[in-house]
Every structure is written in structure tokens, then in C-alpha cells.
Amino acid sequence: MNKILIFGVGLIGGSLALNAKNTAFASHIVGVGRNQDNLDDAIKLKLIDRISDDLEKDIADSHIIVIATPVAQFPSILKTIQPHLASHTIITDVGSTKTEVMKSAKEILGVQYSQFIGGHPIAGSEKHGAISADIDLFKNKNVILTPDETTSPHARETIESLWKNAGAVVSNMSHTEHDKIFSTISHLPHLLAFSLVDMITHRSNANELLKFAASGFKDFTRIAASSPEMWKDITLDNKQFILEDIQHFENEIKLLKEAIQHEDTKKIFALFENASKTRNKWSQ
């Protein structure tokens, strides 16, 4: 019965489409995007039934609209949707930041803002594009929804069932709490990984450095292979929390640097031991 319209049929949008279609959660899936080659891949891989050729109509008669593009495009997409939005349609997104998205949706959708609920599947990867779509991408993964006091119960239920159907574990929290948490555990590590690789490329012996870099470097910098466009958007969107976390990390590094300068063996060991114990105990 469900018709789903997906803006941005990349890794996340494509995987969700593939899952919703193959589990019969959706009867009809339509894709929209800027990149024709990627949309052609999505058709070939049967992620979507068709590419939208009448966007106004597809907006008007969809049950669910999923915005799965880089976050900077959300405002213009919401403006495209708004004039044609039926009262029964639920809109969600899959962006890695939530405060700015909720603000845009509120401003642009006006009285229909109750039909919007922010979402964030914690199932990213450095891979991108429709060709990376995976039907099991969300299985046992966390998906965070960020409803507020305006969000309709129907919106909450619809999007919760969309994700549960894909095998995800759904949690609800405020957009502020979300952005604060992900600044620390996701955005900051990405910036550190990008920065380390960038730093190395500016060395005169960059090639030799990369030649001898091994498995530790490989894993540490895997996220530095992520989409620059997506991460530029996330960084600007979540600017305040990210700047706070960079500051905290700078303080942490400064303390370690001083401990090394003073050869404070006990302090260095205590820091490493605390991190090592925590990381060894932690399992995803």
C-alpha cells in the first residue's frame, strides 16, 4: 500500500529503498536525485521502481517522503515539497545532524511541520552511491528519531515502523541531545582522521609515509575516505557542538603533551590504560 518517495538514492536512501521494497513494506518506490548515473544504477539494481518524472504528483500522492541527500540540500528540498504536500504524507530525513534540519522543517513546512520527524540511522560507511546499497545495512543498527512536542503520533509510528521493518533498533531523543552526542562520537573522530591524512599529504616524504603506514593507520583513517561534501555539511550544521568538542580534545592533547614533555610516566600510563581498558570492554 505504501508509496515512498526518496530524495537521494545513495548508500542510505538506496539501502532503505531496497529493504522496504523487498520486505513489501512499500509497494512502490520512486527516486529523485541530481546524479543521473547514480539514478540509473538505482534502477538497474532494482532499488527503486522508477525515477520521478512528475515530481509534484509524486510528492502529492506519496505516503512517506525520505530525504537522504547531503544535509545542505534539505531546505531547498523541503521548499520543493511544501506546496504539494498532502495531509496524510509523512516526511523524514536521514541526516547526521538534527537541530538545523528540524529548524528548516519548522520554518518551511509551517502548520504541516507535525508531519515531519527527524531521523538518523547509525549505519554510515565511507562507501557511497546506489551501487553500495545493502538490504541488511540497518539490521540491529541504532536509528535515532528526534520528534518534538509538535510531531504527530502518526508521524512517529509511521517512521518507527519503517525502520523497525528494516531491522533497526529505534531510540527517541531531542535534536539537541542527538547533535551533542554525535559531535563527540562521530563528527570529532571524522575531523581528526581527515586532519591527520591532510597533514601527511603536506609532508615532503608523504609517499614514503604512506608506504610504511600499516593496519593501525588503515583503520584509524578509514573514515577519512568519507564524502567531503557530506562532511562539510555536517561540520557546518553542527558547528557549535563540534567547536566545543575540538576545544575539549585540544585540552586533552595538551595535557598528554605536557606529560610527555615532563616524562610523567605515571600520567601517560594512566591515560593509555584507561583508554585501553574502556576500548577493550566496549563492544558495538
Using CB under 8 A as the binding rule, the residues of this chain from 111 to 150 that contact a second copy are 122-125, 141-142, 144
Does position 174 interact with a second copy (CB under 8 A)? The reply is no
Going from the C-alpha of 91 to that of each of 188, 199, 205, the distances in angstroms are 29, 41, 50
* Residue 97 contacts residue 234 (beta carbons within 8 Å): yes
Query: Please, which of residues 6-45 interact with a second copy by CB under 8 A?
Result: none
> If you search the block for the grid coordinates 586532519, which residue do you land on?
195
- Nearest-approach distance from CB 248 to a second copy, in angstroms: 6
14 contact partners, CB below 8 Å, separation of at least 6: 42, 45, 47, 48, 129, 130, 132, 133
Does position 203 interact with a second copy (CB under 8 A)? The reply is yes
Q: Which of 39, 59, 190, 241 binds a second copy (CB under 8 A)?
A: 190
Pull the grid cell for residue 271.
591515560
Amino acid (1-letter code) at residue 110: G
- Nearest-approach distance from CB 192 to a second copy, in angstroms: 6
* Residue 116 contacts residue 105 (beta carbons within 8 Å): yes
- Nearest-approach distance from CB 70 to a second copy, in angstroms: 11
- Nearest-approach distance from CB 266 to a second copy, in angstroms: 9
- The three-class DSSP label of residue 248 is helix
Nearer to a second copy, 83 or 218 (CB): 218
Query: Please, which of residues 264-283 interact with a second copy by CB under 8 A?
Result: 265, 268-269, 271-276, 278-280, 282
Q: Is 83 exposed, middle or buried (0-12, 13-18, 19+ CB in 10 A)?
A: exposed
- Nearest-approach distance from CB 135 to a second copy, in angstroms: 17
Does position 253 interact with a second copy (CB under 8 A)? The reply is yes
- Nearest-approach distance from CB 106 to a second copy, in angstroms: 22
Q: Which of 167, 189, 204, 241 binds a second copy (CB under 8 A)?
A: 189
Query: Please, which of residues 74-103 interact with a second copy by CB under 8 A?
Result: none
Q: Which stretch binds a second copy (CB under 8 A): 15-23, 32-40, 103-111, 197-205?
A: 197-205
Amino acid (1-letter code) at residue 173: M
Nearer to a second copy, 24 or 236 (CB): 236
Nearer to a second copy, 87 or 284 (CB): 284
Nearer to a second copy, 113 or 194 (CB): 194
DSSP element (H, E) containing 50: strand 50-51
Pull the grid cell for residue 27.
509497494
Pull the grid cell for residue 147.
520528534
- Nearest-approach distance from CB 99 to a second copy, in angstroms: 16
Query: Please, which of residues 211-230 interact with a second copy by CB under 8 A?
Result: 211-229
Residue 201: CB atoms within 10 A of its CB come to 10
β-pair partners for 171 = 144
